[in-house]
Each structure stands twice: as C-alpha cells, then as structure tokens.
Amino acid sequence: MDENKYTYNDRDINWLSFNERVLQEAEDPTNPLYERLKFLAIFSSNLDEYFRVRVSRLRQIKKIDKQLRKKLALKPNKQVKEILKLVKLQQEKFGKIFFSTLIPELAKNDIHLVNYQFYNTDQQQFTTQYFISKVLPLIDSKLVTNSDQEEVFLENNKLYYLVTFEESESFGVVNIPSDQLERFVCLPTENESHYITFIDDIIKLNLNQIFENQKILDSYQIKLSRDAELYIDDEFEGILAEKIKESLSQRNFGQPTRLLFDSSMPKTLKNEVRKLFKLGKIDMMPGGKYHNFSDFFSFPDPTNNSFLHYPAVSEVRHSEFEKSDNYFDIIKRKDQLVHFPYMSFDYVQNFINQASTDQYVTEIKISLYRVAKESELTNSLLKAIENGKKVTVFIEAKARFDEKNNLKWGKTFEEKGASVFYSYPKIKVHSKILLVKRKEKDIIQSYAYIGTGNFNAKTSKIYCDHGLFTSNSKITKDLSEVFEVLSGKMILPKPKQLLVAPFTVRNTFEDLIDIETENAKNGKPAIIKAKLNSLEDKKIINKLYIASSIGVKIELLVRGFTCLIPGLKGMSENIRITSIVDRYLEHGRIYYFENGGESKIFIGSADWMTRNLDKRIEVLTPILDTDCKKELETILDMQLSDNKKSRIQDAKSSNSYKKKMDDEPSIQSQKAIRTYLNQIHTDNNILSEQYLKTDEKIS
C-alpha cells in the first residue's frame, strides 16, 4: 500500500465529534434530569478549554510566515472557519435541548428557572434586597466612551453585561460576580413549587442602581476566552518550576480566542465591541442570553428528588484488601488490580498510609501529575516524612490548569524534608507510579503501584481507571530505574518489562503491531484490541492501516478524538472504532495483542499520541498475573461489546449508536463491569465469560 495515500481525520475537527457525544447524553431522555444538565455543563466546560487551547494554537499558527505555512500544509484559517461552523450548529442544538426540553422537564418537577421579567412582587422584593446586600459590593462597572476604550479589560472566562442607554452613544460594562457568589439563587417558594433564578437576572433587574443617571435601554451578556498556553521563553535557563509560577498570571491576560455574545446584540454594538477588544470577525461567536453553562454542575435541587439523579451505588469491596490491614502480605502473595470508580481510591491511600507508619518501610517514591488540594494521600506522605522515611516526590509543574496547586504542594513537601523534583524542559512527566521499599529479613523488598489515572481521590469517583499493585521484582526493578531518571541520576533506562516513554513505548508498540501483521500474513489469528483516550500518532496509525489491509482484526475504543479513519476500502476495512460516553468518564488505557496465542496486555498512562510516545515520560506495565490478565481482558471485552452507550466512529463521524443484534444481550458496560467485579470479589470461581452471554446479569 502506498503510504502517501494514507488519509487522516483532522484532530481538532474530530474532537468536536467527541463533544457532540457529550451533547447526546444531555439529549438522552433515559438519563435522569439533573444528570442531563450536568452533561450540558461538561459540554460547555470542554468547549471553553478547547477554545483556550486548541483554537488558540491555530491562531498562533496564523502568525507563521505564509510561505512556510503553505510548505507545511497548514491551513489555520480554513480550520477555524470549519470549527466555528460546527460549533454554531452544536450550540443551536445545545440551546434547543436546554430551553425546549430541560426547562419544561424541570417545570414538570415543580422546579422553575425564572427570568427577571416574570418575578412576582415577593420575588422582586427578595432579589432587590439580595442585590443590595450581596451583589452590589462586588460590582465593578465602567462607562465606556470613544476616548477611553483602551482602558477596558475583560478577564478570561468571566461574565459581563454590555449595557446600552436611551440617550447616549456610550455603553456600560458590568461584571457578573458568579465566581464570587453562587450563580443560582433560590427564590421564595410558592405552594409546592420551587423557583430559581440566575444571579445574572438579579443584576439585570437592578442595572438602574448601577447607572443611576442613565436610562437603561438594554443589556447583553458577553464572555471572552483567552489563550491558556504558558509560553515560557528560555526554557532551558533557570528553574522551570519558578518560570511557570511566574507565568501563571499570563493566563488571564492572554490573547483573546473567542468572544461569546448574546446573538440579539445590535450590529452597531457588535462592531464597537470588535474595535474595543481588537477582535476579528472570526473571533466573534453568537450565543444565547446566558453563558458559562459549566455552572450547572452546581444547579440546586430544592426538591431533593432522588429520581432526578443517578441512583446511588455501593463501591465494590476488594476481596483481598478487605481481608487484612497488611497490604504488603497481600501484594507480596499475588498481584492485585483495582478499578475506579467501581472501587474506592482508599485502597491506594491506605497502602501509602500503611507505608508511612510501617517500621520496616525505608523509602517511598511517587510521581504526582494532578495533586488534590487536600487529601489523605498527601497527608500520608507528610506523615512518612515525619516518621523518618526517605520520601521522593516528582511534581509535574506543567499539568495544564493545575500548575499552581502542584507547585504549592511541591514547596510544602520540600519544606517538610522530602526530595522534590520538577518538570524537565520540553518534556512532561505523565506517569502514575509509586514505589515503596521495605526491609524484610535483611533484604529490601520493593512494592509498586502503576495506574492509568492520577493520584487524586476526587477524580477517582468520576474517572474510570485501573491500577496494578505488584511486588514482582522484574517490574519493581524497572520502576526503580524510572525514578532514577526522574531524579536525574540516570539518563537512559533499560527496562526489561515496563514500557517507558520516550525510550521504549513507541518501538514496542510498533513491534507488537508488526507481529500481528506477520501472523495475519501467515494465516494465524491476529487481533489487536485497545482502549484509549485519543489516537493521533501517524506512525502508529500507518502501522494499523497496514495491519488492517493484511487482515488483522482491530477493535479500538477511543473516548475522545481519532485521526485514524476506520472502514476505508483497502486501508482500514478491518478496523472498528467505538466510543463510550456514560455516567463516568472513560479514562483508562488498555492494550491487547493476540501475539500468536500468547496474548500480551498492558495498562498505563500513555495514549497513542505523539506527545505521549515521544515527549512525555510515560509508564505502561504488562499484566503478568494470569488472573489479573483475565480480569482486564473481560473488562475490555465488555466495553467493546457495549450496545447501550457505545457510538460508532465511522468515516463520517456520524456518532450513531451501536445497535444491538437480535442474538446479543443488552450490555451497558459500566453497569456490567460493576456487576462483574462484585461477583469475582465475592466468588473468585465465577467464570468471566458468562457476563457477555447473560442478559439478566448486566441489565
């Protein structure tokens, strides 16, 4: 096959297909009402970050010399226009779902979202008093005329009103302090009904108290998104962590990437706004009367109606870790898997806590990518330092939007006596790894934890991730080398079992794909199955295209975007890609290769993206224990068999739901996995195959 004929999805365009799947969940009437509102909030939050990061990047490309852009086949203007076209369609769908479906559904449940124009007398009195006592002290307003336009500045992602007046060409700019007060205010109830209003409406009703000498004509909500990247000059000079700390404030003052405005705004005012904030037409995005729908994460439920939310579920109790408080004995006896959010993150925190107080533990090493603001895990690490353990912490200072908190914790650990290491220039450390060394009978025994998700108890409740506890010396020896690299004591590790980027991950995956291709040529079973967040690396994609053309059966579960186009004749006919969006965010990475009957399976932190393979320190572990291997294969097969929440990613990015065949059971994989884990941790003799055959078990 001619490699020049390979075709790919544009990653930024295809990412919008992922956010469309989030919007589908908001539209799905089988989801509880408040969960549908949360999916709107997720959609909104995703889109904000997308404009701050990805669209911002396209704007930076526009600054490159035109001839060089042409040589590199970069067409940022064309891409941005296509993005805005698709986003406009999605936002129209968003508005229809919210106003035509969810608002009436709330009303059916005696929850009314009230516009200020429909306040009754009691509500008017209440909101006026609320404005005077709570809101007015936080208001920062400005009257804008042609002579002082350059003095106006909008902070990133904050809400404002542009206010027009009857007898003046000037206009007012008023902040909406939703970052300091609750966005939603519960109004006095009436009978059995509950009334909620936006703080925005309370301000709108009382604008005459802000501009007392003006006759208010109208007001229009706006929000400006700014570039979120930290551009750090001379990265190789000085301490990178300190440079990042100094650069954080730039985020709120970065280049504008999108101005979202009320589409009812008059054309003349739009033109003035463009000039005021030095925006191009392409930067102006029409929207509704309200922005920042991410605030619906905290939309109040005054009814406390459990039917409006996902039903509460109990966590799966790990059969081994529940037997004993001595995790060292359990892990030494046999490798153990944990799965979040089906299981509690306490198993990880308990292990670190036990290590912090165990008299035989000499050393703890951990890499932290996104650190919780406060957690049992960080408290245990501090306790370990107090108890005289040698603690080494690697802090990723460039974890986007978590830099400030990560740096704060790095400083705390340093002050308490830990050895703290920060990011390398030009490379991120994305691995989720822990190593504990313990003196046992005059030898040092090592224990490891390698996960697919961050050491963060809060996100573990909503992110689907997997983690392996092991004392296998082949793995712990490799992991010890990884920490030597992180601490600057080793440049080139030579792992025998672990896959470590940027050193061995790419070559190993390419070799494993080649083996499947060769087996297909020789008429042997050849299968590749993988679950990952994003698929972008063209070298890996080309290998998959070749494998598919030879006859390798490839099943991929990609949550986010994919640059690989499945189903193309002669190129990707044997590749099937599905995506699951459900109650929890699918975040784990699992890779399976048939390998001539001696299957290999890996979990870890790396996606098949160039940045993960070449520009980050990533760690993936093989699953060597037979039971653990079977457990992960079963979970992966359940997800690939999902016919409730699985969408087909085809060449047209249609996002059509995967249909249940007549002879298939109905499988919603997140429910099926919980049932499966409950069963195997109750009766370890239960065969996993039944969970793909029995409809009753997983419905």
3-state SS of 309-335 is CCCCCCCCCCCCCCCCCCHHHHHHHCC
- Give a yes or no: residue 282 inside a domain: yes
Of the candidates 626, 625, 667, the one whose C-alpha atom is nearest the C-alpha of residue 644 is: 667
What is the structure's pLDDT at 57?
73
* Per-residue tokens: 322: 């529940």
- Give a yes or no: residue 310 inside a domain: no
For residue 480, with 0-12 CB atoms within 10 Å meaning exposed, 13-18 middle and 19 or more buried, which class applies? middle
Spatial contact of 390 and 566, defined as CB atoms under 8 Å apart: no
Give me the residue label for tokens 């904050």.
Answer: 158
In 153-166, which positions are buried (b, 16+ CB within 10 angstroms) versus exposed (e)?
ebebbbbbbbbbbe
The angle subtended at Cα 38 by Cα 37 and Cα 41, nearest 5°, is 95
- 226 labeled part of a ligand binding site: no
SS3 524: coil
Which regions of the chain are under pLDDT 50?
1, 68-69, 71-73, 230-252, 399-401, 684-699
- Give a yes or no: residue 316 inside a domain: no
The angle subtended at Cα 114 by Cα 112 and Cα 117, nearest 5°, is 150
Contacts of 87 (CB under 8 A, 6+ apart): 16, 47, 285
- Give a yes or no: residue 518 inside a domain: yes
Tally of domains in the chain: 3
Are residues 530 and 651 located together in one domain of the fold? yes
CATH number for the domain harbouring residue 599: 3.30.870.10
| Residue 562 to residue 18: CA distance in whole angstroms | 9
Give me the residue label for tokens 């030579």.
Answer: 494
Are residues 363 and 461 located together in one domain of the fold? yes
Catalytic (active site) residue 430 = yes
Are residues 529 and 458 located together in one domain of the fold? no
| Residue 55 to residue 156: CA distance in whole angstroms | 15
Spatial contact of 296 and 38, defined as CB atoms under 8 Å apart: yes
Given the residues 194, 318, 430, 681, select the one marked as catalytic.
430
* Per-residue tokens: 93: 């769908």
Are residues 669 and 605 located together in one domain of the fold? yes
Structural domain ending residue among the three candidates 494, 529, 561 = 494
- Give a yes or no: residue 307 inside a domain: no
Amino acid identity of 297?
F
Contacts of 267 (CB under 8 A, 6+ apart): none
* Per-residue tokens: 568: 């193309």
- 21 labeled part of a ligand binding site: no
- 370 labeled part of a ligand binding site: yes
Are residues 443 and 513 located together in one domain of the fold? no
How crowded is the C-beta side of 293, counted as CA atoms within 13 Å?
Answer: 24
Spatial contact of 159 and 221, defined as CB atoms under 8 Å apart: yes
Amino acid identity of 37?
L
Are residues 366 and 457 located together in one domain of the fold? yes
Are residues 434 and 526 located together in one domain of the fold? no
Of the candidates 51, 124, 481, the one whose C-alpha atom is nearest the C-alpha of residue 284 is: 51
Are residues 463 and 575 located together in one domain of the fold? no
Other Cβ atoms less than 10 A from the Cβ of 292: the count is 21
CATH number for the domain harbouring residue 177: 3.30.1840.10
What is the structure's pLDDT at 237?
40
- Give a yes or no: residue 123 inside a domain: yes
Spatial contact of 106 and 301, defined as CB atoms under 8 Å apart: no
Angle of helix 33-50 relative to helix 11-27, nearest 10 degrees, comes to 160
How crowded is the C-beta side of 209, counted as CA atoms within 13 Å?
Answer: 16
Other Cβ atoms less than 10 A from the Cβ of 615: the count is 15
Spatial contact of 232 and 244, defined as CB atoms under 8 Å apart: yes
Spatial contact of 602 and 591, defined as CB atoms under 8 Å apart: yes
Other Cβ atoms less than 10 A from the Cβ of 311: the count is 7
Contacts of 48 (CB under 8 A, 6+ apart): 157, 225, 294
* Per-residue tokens: 527: 């299968």
Measured in whole angstroms, the distance separating CA 72 from the mean position of its chain's CA atoms is: 30
- 54 labeled part of a ligand binding site: no
- 587 labeled part of a ligand binding site: yes
Of the candidates 433, 444, 467, 427, the one whose C-alpha atom is nearest the C-alpha of residue 365 is: 433
pLDDT in tens, 276-295: 888 888 788 888 899 999 99
For residue 215, with 0-12 CB atoms within 10 Å meaning exposed, 13-18 middle and 19 or more buried, which class applies? exposed
- Torsion sign, CA atoms 493, 496, 501, 505: positive
Residue 372 domain boundaries: 327-494
Are residues 32 and 178 located together in one domain of the fold? yes
Are residues 222 and 342 located together in one domain of the fold? no
Of the candidates 313, 340, 318, the one whose C-alpha atom is nearest the C-alpha of residue 462 is: 340
- Give a yes or no: residue 371 inside a domain: yes
- Give a yes or no: residue 315 inside a domain: no
Are residues 175 and 82 located together in one domain of the fold? yes
| Residue 227 to residue 204: CA distance in whole angstroms | 29
Are residues 464 and 507 located together in one domain of the fold? no
- Can you give the length of the chain in residues? 699
Contacts of 7 (CB under 8 A, 6+ apart): 565, 568, 571
| Residue 9 to residue 23: CA distance in whole angstroms | 21
In 242-251, which positions are buried (b, 16+ CB within 10 angstroms) versus exposed (e)?
ebbbeeeebb
How crowded is the C-beta side of 548, counted as CA atoms within 13 Å?
Answer: 25
- Torsion sign, CA atoms 682, 683, 689, 692: negative
Report field, pTM of the whole predicted structure over 0.85: yes
- 46 labeled part of a ligand binding site: yes
